[in-house]
Amino acid sequence: MRGPRLQDVAERAGVSMKTVSNVVRNYPHVSPQMRARVQQAIDELGYRPNVVARRLATGRTGFIALAFADVAIPYFAELSRAASRAAAGFEYRVLLEETDATLEGERALMASSEAGLIDGMIFQPSAMSSAEIARHRIDIPIVLLGETPAPLTIDRVMIDNIAAAREITRHLIASGRRRIGFVGHEASSLTETSRQRLLGYQEALQEAGLAADPSRLVASGAVAASEAVDAVRDALDGGLDVDALVCRDDLAAIGTLRALQERGIRVPDDVAVTGWDDTRLSAVTFPSLTTVSPDIDTIVSRALTLLDERIRGYDGVGRHEIAPHRIVVRESAPA
């Protein structure tokens, strides 16, 4: 016995099949009353979308993947939320994939990634090189996010991390800070994200005639506030001498605030602290965080547009786009 079809739902609800499809795909421009009417018919019939049938009929499933290191990292959680909402306007649903930021995890993603179930993928790599990414996937369209160099054949959207790091460091210098450290980079093997942010930090110091002192670099074991707490504690115990700290991300900044407060070091009076990503946590820390704010909505919108164009047949060279960013000044590092 066959299960209920899209047509059955449309007849039960007294609407067109297109309206049912819009509700199933969570298309935003459907009235609440119509959505409730269709949802009631879906629930009564027990209808479930048939991805295989849709692909056979249209050549597409209506699903795309969003892949990154770890959804527990606040930036990626907020990116996922923005992508899921924006994708509805393109009539896509988003499947999340986590790679744990390991080479093995990213290779597994590129080798499978829900084969046959997705029309394309937005991917923020942490470990794979651009050449390896280009070799691994040619069967589905891909748009890359982030700082890893992109192949000439693949689209990529990012902010200018070097420029942003220069700007946040210049902000500290302009406020009178001179002994500026950096917290949160990897101890043994730098990711491209850390490399670019360190470079911008160093360039700002050099243009101001300040020394880029390796003793003021505080490495963290992982992207986690708890790791930053431990790293900054150890650095302070070892004689860390700073009046400001540029943190690689908001989690590192939150951990830094904790470690400084434990030692009775006042923020920003004694040491100013900046974050990166402008996650929701940054506005409610004590003190609230001055931070680099990437334009997530633009990043997501451009990535989805480029991916949709690829899915619809564009086969040209990769488009590499820079999204805007700004510095949000709060209590931890005032002007």
Same domain, 165 and 224: yes
Residue 329 lies in a domain: no
Same domain, 12 and 97: no
- Domain CATH number, residue 39: 1.10.260.40
Same domain, 114 and 179: no
Same domain, 251 and 276: yes
Task: Give long-range contacts, CB 8 A cutoff, 24+ apart: 205-212.
Answer: 205/169, 205/173, 205/180, 208/170, 208/173, 210/173, 210/178, 210/180
The answer to whether 223 and 247 have CB atoms below 8 angstroms apart is no
Task: Check residue 136 and give its pLDDT.
Answer: 75
Same domain, 195 and 287: yes
Task: Check residue 56 and give its pLDDT.
Answer: 45
C-alpha pair distances (Å), 276 with each of 25, 190, 279, 324, 325: 33, 17, 8, 14, 11
Same domain, 170 and 279: yes
Phi-psi label, residue 253: left if phi above 0, alpha if psi -120 to 50, beta otherwise? alpha
Same domain, 263 and 311: no
- Domain CATH number, residue 106: 3.40.50.2300
Residue 108 lies in a domain: yes
- Note the pLDDT tens digit of each residue in 90-113: 889 999 999 998 999 998 888 775
Task: Check residue 25 and give its pLDDT.
Answer: 63
Residue 306 lies in a domain: yes
Overall number of domains in the chain: 3
pLDDT by residue for the chain (335 residues), tens only, comes to 456 777 788 889 998 877 877 777 666 678 888 888 988 888 888 876 665 555 545 557 889 999 999 999 999 999 999 999 999 888 899 999 999 989 999 988 887 755 568 899 999 999 888 888 888 766 789 999 999 888 899 999 999 999 999 999 999 999 999 999 999 999 988 999 999 999 999 999 999 999 999 999 999 988 899 999 999 999 999 999 999 999 999 999 999 999 999 999 999 999 999 999 999 999 999 999 999 999 999 999 999 999 999 999 999 999 999 999 999 999 999 99
Task: Check residue 224 and give its pLDDT.
Answer: 92
Q: Which residues fall within 8 angstroms of residue 94, CB to CB, at 6 or more apart?
A: 63, 64, 65, 66, 80, 83, 84, 87
Same domain, 93 and 196: no
Task: Check residue 76 and give its pLDDT.
Answer: 96
Same domain, 125 and 143: yes
Same domain, 190 and 265: yes
Same domain, 120 and 143: yes
Q: What is the extent of the structural domain holding 247?
A: 161-294
Task: Check residue 54 and give its pLDDT.
Answer: 55
